[in-house]
């Protein structure tokens, strides 16, 4: 019988369940960090305004169980990755009674690399990394240092962060530029992100999947500020962020022993779907999700849109992104396919996308509403 441990923090607790001596057999563990690209319900469990939550209609409309906290009409990239890797959906770290035998999701929608980004509303990347350290310490105590060290080293660490830092910079431009110019601000964000990656590495992480932000300036929300065109300031700073982070990760791989990385450039991935949406059977604009809107009109054919709301892409785009990551067959993914991190050569064409999905989502909703 597996052991059960408890961690108390604030008003939250988590039952840490390990499946005996070997956590999950042959599966690689999956740890997820960052913002709304990856948040599968963390913000359901913290005191946060509705702006940073998605546990209400129409979010989750494409799933049989409705809203689970994902800022999307359905599933997110890490959900699809878990399916491709033959893992169950990875639960939020703050979810009561969750089983973390296959990993944990620490991501918090609205968070940034900077602690002050949406402070007191969400969990910063630094806080998330701190939660991981607590969890891996328990893993070491339960399984012994040798087994835990091996599992931690073989695990995959998915980080998506930065776009909320730049959204804050654009929205508070006059105040922020009293302290930093745009280049200095980007360097601050990238240095903070690099520092947290280093902390994870120092605690045994070896395999990093880093999603670089999509083009903030070309999101429907930012286009409103530029009379329908892409907002150049927002585009330029996210582009600079991506250039700097790619150089940093390349350098880290040469300096740090067994440091492995995959870059997913969301800007490069989403751009052609906006510039030539018909090629991908998509419309570039938003389907009409509710976030940040006093009123909205939800589209009928949601799968035909790149964006579900003003800033967040649709389930269809998330699925395309996950397939590109898994197979490594898109220029936005480098230097290798994600399936190599999971030690699997299975093509996504052989993965049943409906495999136990209803049961998984039902479990997520049950925990979220408990």
Residue 230 has pLDDT above 90, yes or no: yes
Cβ contact 44:71 at 8 Å? no
The pLDDT assigned to 352 comes to 43
For residue 50, the model assigns a pLDDT of 73
| Per-residue pLDDT reduced to its tens digit, 35-73 | 999 999 999 999 776 777 877 788 878 877 778 889 898
Cβ-defined contacts of 232-239 (< 8 Å, 24+): 233/170, 233/173, 233/182, 234/166, 234/167, 234/170, 236/182, 237/166, 237/169, 237/170, 237/182, 237/185, 237/186, 238/162, 238/163, 238/166, 238/213, 238/214, 238/267, 239/215, 239/267
> Does the pLDDT of residue 202 top 80, yes or no?
yes
**Comparison of pLDDT for 352 and 127, the residue scoring more:** 127
Residue 15 has pLDDT above 60, yes or no: no
Question: What fold does the segment set 4-272+319-369 form as a domain?
Answer: Rossmann fold (3.40.50)
Percent of the chain with pLDDT over 70: 78
> 14-30 burial, b if ≥16 CB within 10 A, otherwise e?
bebbbeeeebbeebbbb
Q: How does 218-235 read in b/e, with b if 16+ C-beta sit within 10 Å? A: bbbbbbeeeeeeebebbb
Q: Which of 74-88, 168-182, 249-263, 266-280 has the lowest mean pLDDT?
A: 266-280
pLDDT score of 52? 79
Confidence bin at 204 (pLDDT 50/70/90): very high
Residue of higher predicted confidence among 64 and 110: 110
Q: Identify the pLDDT of residue 306.
A: 87
pLDDT tens sequence across 298-342: 666 676 788 888 898 999 999 999 999 999 999 999 999 999 999
Determine the pLDDT at residue 281: 53
Q: Residue 298, exposed/middle/buried by CB under 10 A (0-12, 13-18, 19+)? A: middle
State the average pLDDT over residues 182-199.
98
The pLDDT value recorded for residue 280 is 56
Q: How far apart are CA 290 and CA 282, in angstroms?
A: 20
Mean pLDDT over 150-172 rounds to 97
């Amino acid at each position: 019988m597996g052991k059960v441990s408890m961690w108390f923090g604030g008003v939250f607790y988590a039952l840490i369940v390990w499946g005996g001596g070997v956590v999950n057999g042959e599966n690689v563990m999956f740890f997820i960090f960052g913002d709304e690209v990856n948040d599968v319900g963390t913000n359901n469990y913290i005191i946060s305004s509705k702006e940073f939550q998605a546990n209400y209609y129409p979010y989750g409309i494409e799933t049989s169980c409705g809203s689970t906290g994902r800022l999307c009409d359905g599933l997110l990239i890490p959900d699809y990755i878990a399916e491709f890797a033959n893992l169950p959906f990875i639960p939020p770290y703050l979810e009561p009674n969750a089983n973390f035998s296959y990993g944990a999701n620490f991501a918090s929608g609205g968070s940034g690399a900077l602690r002050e980004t949406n402070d007191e509303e969400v969990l910063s990347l630094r806080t998330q990394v701190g939660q991981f350290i607590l969890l891996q310490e328990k893993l070491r105590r339960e399984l012994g240092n040798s087994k835990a060290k091996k599992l931690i080293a073989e695990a995959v660490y998915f980080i998506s962060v930065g776009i909320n830092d730049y959204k804050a910079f654009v929205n508070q431009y006059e105040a922020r530029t009293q302290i930093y110019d745009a280049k200095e601000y980007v360097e601050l964000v990238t240095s903070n992100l690099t520092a947290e990656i280093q902390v994870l590495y120092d605690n045994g992480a070896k395999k990093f999947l880093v999603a670089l932000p999509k083009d903030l300036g070309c999101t429907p929300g930012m286009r409103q500020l530029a009379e329908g065109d892409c907002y150049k300031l927002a585009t330029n700073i996210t582009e600079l962020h991506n250039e700097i982070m790619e150089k940093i990760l390349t350098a880290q791989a040469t300096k740090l022993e067994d440091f492995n990385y995959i870059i997913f450039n969301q800007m490069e991935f989403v751009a052609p779907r906006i510039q030539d949406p018909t090629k991908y059977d998509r419309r570039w604009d938003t389907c009409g999700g509710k976030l940040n809107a006093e009123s909205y009109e939800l589209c009928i054919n949601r799968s035909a849109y790149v964006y579900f709301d003003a800033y967040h892409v649709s389930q269809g785009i998330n699925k395309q992104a996950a397939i590109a990551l898994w197979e490594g067959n898109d220029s936005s993914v480098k230097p290798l396919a994600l399936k190599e991190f999971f030690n699997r050569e299975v093509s996504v064409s052989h993965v049943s996308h409906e495999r136990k999905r209803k049961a998984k989502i039902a479990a997520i909703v049950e925990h979220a509403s408990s």
